[in-house]
């Protein structure tokens, strides 16, 4: 490193040391802004990465057919039934398909009555498609099988005692819509409270509970290997339009490939993160203004010092560099501390989410986030110090020495 720049850095550090409180208060805005950016972006990227990995593990050869309206078909007034499922199963490019029903129902255990989602899954060869997509895995007991009427699987939070006051175990009896069911298995944590607080029955049991008709919340289909899911989806859309008697553009159903679902999630994440980073950016703006204010104050307080340096040969460019390095250091050190705080916040949220059953929340700290935040904080500090540095460099030696 050039000895001249080394001297500038030492000079800046001595300036900070002699004004510790002012230096800390100046960097506070940078702390907050960078900490907010790092923590929010890390959590957003961690969540996006977890969801992407989950989708990729399921394979890209799946289609989701849902009624229009509601959330993925739930709560929609439109109905997909057995005839629709039959059409999907026999459509070109479809290897297999299955539908499931899902509804909020009253559930009783002991003296407690609560409401939660109860879903019915088929027990034929289409069960594998739905189970894979929904990530249902057995932690205790056994899985459901054909003929398991009035038997259910319970979510992990129910087993832990986080839903009812008492823990639910394999072999316990519950009532669903006033009908007795036996718990035959406990599911592994899926990663969100809604799924982990739900019950799963056979499709036949759920249909009997919910009115005796198969009204599917979603139909899942597996595409024949080698076929392009997007082309199969377009072909299936035409087939279902003919079957349901609707015109193009007026479909009362939607078909999505998993790539489209993932793109939708990514778009939502991008919008949410942009808004949150924009809010955090306000703190960085405040931090930059604080640095500018501090540097202006420093110029006034050190006018005599600047005059002395110029009197012994310091050029305007030397004074400019000294103050730019000082302001840049304020930003960079503030950014480094902010990054550390952001990492701590991100990991704390991840730990808290895991304790609450939200295992999908993972904080991710890629190198470009850390280096980008550090570089950005340095740039904010340097830019904030440009005008004060210019003012300092233009001071005339005689006037500066006379300044009181």
Q: What is the pLDDT of residues 67-116, one digit of tens each?
A: 876 554 455 567 888 899 999 999 888 988 888 888 889 999 988 999 99
Q: What is the pLDDT of residue 1?
A: 47
- Round the average pLDDT of the chain to a whole number and report it: 79
Strands 199-202 and 112-121: parallel
384-390: average pLDDT: 72
Whether pTM exceeds 0.75: no
Q: Which residue has the higher pLDDT, 344 or 249?
A: 344
Instruction: Determine which of 17-26, 192-201, 244-253, 372-381 has the lowest per-residue pLDDT on average.
Output: 17-26
Q: What is the pLDDT of residues 36-57, one digit of tens each?
A: 888 878 877 777 777 766 665 5
Task: Please report, for residues 10, 382, 385, the alpha-carbon distance to residue 6 in angstroms, rounded to integers and kept in the order given.
Answer: 6, 17, 19
Best-predicted range by mean pLDDT among 6-10, 20-24, 154-158, 225-229? 154-158
Q: What is the pLDDT of residues 154-197, one digit of tens each?
A: 998 898 888 888 899 999 999 999 899 999 999 988 777 888 88
Among left, alpha and beta (phi > 0; psi -120 to 50; other), residue 180 is: beta
Question: Angle at which helices 316-355 and 258-301 pack, to 10 degrees?
Answer: 140
Q: Which residue has the higher pLDDT, 19 or 171?
A: 171
CB atoms within 10 A of CB 214: 22
Give the span between the Cα atoms of 307 and 21, in whole angstroms.
Answer: 25
By percentage, how much of the chain surpasses pLDDT 70? 76
140-148: average pLDDT: 89
Tokens of 30: 């940078």
Q: What is the pLDDT of residues 301-320, one digit of tens each?
A: 666 666 677 677 767 777 77
Is 403 a residue whose pLDDT tops 80? no
pLDDT category of residue 60 using cuts at 50, 70 and 90: low
């Amino acid at each position: 490193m050039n000895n001249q720049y080394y001297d500038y850095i030492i000079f800046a550090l001595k300036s900070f040391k002699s004004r510790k409180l002012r230096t800390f208060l100046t960097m506070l805005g940078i702390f907050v802004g960078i900490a907010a950016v790092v923590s929010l972006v890390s959590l957003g990227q961690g969540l996006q990465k977890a969801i992407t990995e989950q989708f990729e593990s399921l394979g890209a050869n799946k289609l989701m057919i849902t009624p229009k309206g509601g959330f993925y078909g739930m709560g929609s007034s439109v109905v997909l039934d057995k005839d629709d499922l039959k059409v999907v199963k026999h459509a070109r490019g479809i290897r297999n398909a299955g539908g499931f029903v899902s509804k909020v129902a009253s559930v009783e255990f002991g003296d407690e009555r609560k409401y939660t989602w109860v879903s019915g899954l088929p027990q034929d060869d289409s069960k594998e498609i739905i189970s894979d997509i929904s990530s249902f895995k057995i932690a205790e007991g056994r899985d459901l099988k054909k003929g398991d009427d009035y038997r259910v699987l319970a979510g992990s939070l129910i087993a832990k005692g986080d839903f009812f006051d008492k823990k639910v175990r394999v072999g316990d009896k519950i009532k669903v819509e006033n009908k007795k069911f036996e718990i035959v298995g406990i599911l592994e944590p899926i990663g969100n409270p809604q799924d982990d607080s739900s019950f799963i029955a056979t499709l036949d049991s759920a249909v009997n509970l919910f009115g005796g008709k198969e009204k599917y919340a979603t139909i899942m289909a597996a595409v024949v290997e080698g076929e392009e899911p997007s082309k199969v989806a377009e072909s299936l859309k035409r087939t279902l339009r003919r079957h349901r008697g609707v015109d193009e553009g007026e479909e009362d159903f939607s078909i999505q490939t998993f790539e489209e679902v993932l793109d939708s999630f990514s778009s939502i994440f991008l919008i949410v993160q942009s808004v949150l980073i924009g809010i955090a950016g306000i703190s960085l703006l405040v931090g930059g203004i604080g640095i500018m204010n501090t540097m202006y104050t420093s110029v006034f307080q050190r006018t005599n010092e600047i005059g002395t340096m110029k009197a012994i040969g310091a050029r305007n460019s030397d004074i400019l560099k000294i103050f730019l390095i000082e302001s840049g250091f304020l930003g960079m050190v503030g950014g480094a501390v902010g990054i550390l705080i952001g990492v701590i916040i991100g990991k704390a949220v991840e730990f808290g989410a895991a304790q609450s059953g939200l295992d999908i929340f993972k904080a991710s700290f890629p190198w470009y986030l850390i280096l980008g935040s550090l570089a950005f904080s340095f740039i904010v500090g340097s830019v904030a110090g440009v005008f004060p540095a210019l003012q300092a460099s233009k001071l005339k030696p005689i006037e500066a020495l006379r300044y009181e």
